[in-house]
Structure 1
Amino acid sequence: MGSYAVFLRGINVGGINIKMADLREALNACGFPDALTLLASGNVVLTSSLGAAVVKRECEKCLRAAFGYEAWVVVLDAGRVAELVEACPYPDDDRSTHTYITLSSDTAVLDELETAGAALDGAEQKRLGPEALAWLAPAGGTLDSPFSKITAKARFKSATTTRNLRTLVKVRDAAAALNTA
């Protein structure tokens, strides 16, 4: 039985509103009885005997059926989330910057984002692995930051989602608690 973190793309923004209790109920009904939601931005931890790729496919199918939208998720082994948190060289947050990690289910897409970010003047980013890219944004200006605008492009939505480092710490901790329950 594996523990997974499931990160939904684009919910509770842009008109796709899903209550976390409804999300949990839908995932429970689709074969993930211990699914636990965190925060209101589409973070889930769960256990499954299925591999990560199958969990991704089943979660997307479930969300599309239950909520009627083009659902995309990134699924990572819970242990990998812990490794990414530890590998991030940036602080949780400070007065001037916020740390974000863009997660991807497609290495080639993340390669493209990394190249685009590296071309930006003054952008600070670090590749954490084939599925994750850490980057900094100015406090209060995340959505206006040049790299954030790149990640928001439609061609990246099926394979990526971004979370701040504080959220990944909470997901890591919830997954660890789920494993000990």
Structure 2
Amino acid sequence: MARLLALLGSINIGGNRVKMADLKAAFADEGFGDVQTVAASGNAILSDDREPVFIETQLERILADRFGFKSCVMVRTRDEVARAVADNPFHGEGPQHGSDKMVHSIFLSQQPQQSAFDDLLELHKSKGSERLALGTRVLYLDYVYRVGVSDLSNKFLERKLGVKGTARNMNSLKNILSKMDAE
């Protein structure tokens, strides 16, 4: 069976509180194999051979039915996670001595239109120091200083790009990737 990463948006933010043990049990109850959660921020490594789009829909249903909230779920293969690290042009260039804490890969529900990304770049060019680049179903973003002071919130980015997304910083992604490789 393929090892996959399920990235759950908006977990343990605001009112969407879920214990990782409960999340793991819910996914296992629904037939997903070898479920492992990483951190308490909505990262689940699991085994399954079904199509990722089917898994995304099923996990979103589980979150709604069992935990009472709507979440956007992105499922990626180990190679897609590795590319989200390796292809991030800002990886290793963080302002805090190469720290990747502010460098993110935002996993997108689908590929946004290039014109929407170009409009976003133009709009933001005079507003902040953040750097952006577009990959394949991934938006690379270096927040430079702090996520909380940026105008580039997830809701803003989703509205401008016309797609859903969930972000992970490089430190988290490298940790997740090491756990996927340990299997």
CA contact (8 A) 2:117 2:134 kept: no
- The TM-score, its normalising length taken from structure 1, stands at 0.85
Give 2:55's aligned residue: 55
CA contact (8 A) 1:125 1:135 kept: yes
Q: Which amino acid aligns with 1:146?
A: D
Which one is further off, 15-24 or 93-102?
A: 93-102
User: 1:80 aligns to what SS in structure 2?
Assistant: helix
- The TM-score, its normalising length taken from structure 2, stands at 0.84
Give the 5 Å matches for 1:15-164: 15-92=15-92, 93-95=94-96, 98-108=102-112, 112=116, 115-120=119-124, 121=126, 122-129=129-136, 131-139=137-145, 141-147=146-152, 149=153, 151-153=154-156, 155=159, 159-164=164-169
Q: Could you list the runs of 4 or more consecutive aligned residues of structure 1 that deviate by over 3 angstroms after TM superposition? A: 91-94, 109-115, 153-158
**Cα distance change, pair 135–56 in 1 and its aligned pair in 2 (3 A):** same
Q: Which amino acid aligns with 2:96?
A: R
**Cα distance change, pair 114–29 in 1 and its aligned pair in 2 (3 A):** farther
Q: Which amino acid aligns with 2:176?
A: V
CA contact (8 A) 1:12 1:40 kept: yes
Give 1:171's aligned residue: 176
Q: Which amino acid aligns with 1:38?
A: V
**Cα distance change, pair 174–114 in 1 and its aligned pair in 2 (3 A):** farther
User: 1:15 Cα shift?
Assistant: 1.1
User: 1:72 Cα shift?
Assistant: 1.6
User: 1:117 Cα shift?
Assistant: 4.0
CA contact (8 A) 1:114 1:133 kept: no
Q: Percent identity?
A: 23
User: 1:176 Cα shift?
Assistant: 1.6
Equivalenced residue count is 174
Flag the structure with more relative contact order, 1 or 2, with Cα contacts below 8 A and sequence separation at least 6. 1
In angstroms, what is the RMSD of aligned CA positions? 2.4
CA contact (8 A) 2:8 2:71 kept: yes
CA contact (8 A) 2:2 2:48 kept: yes
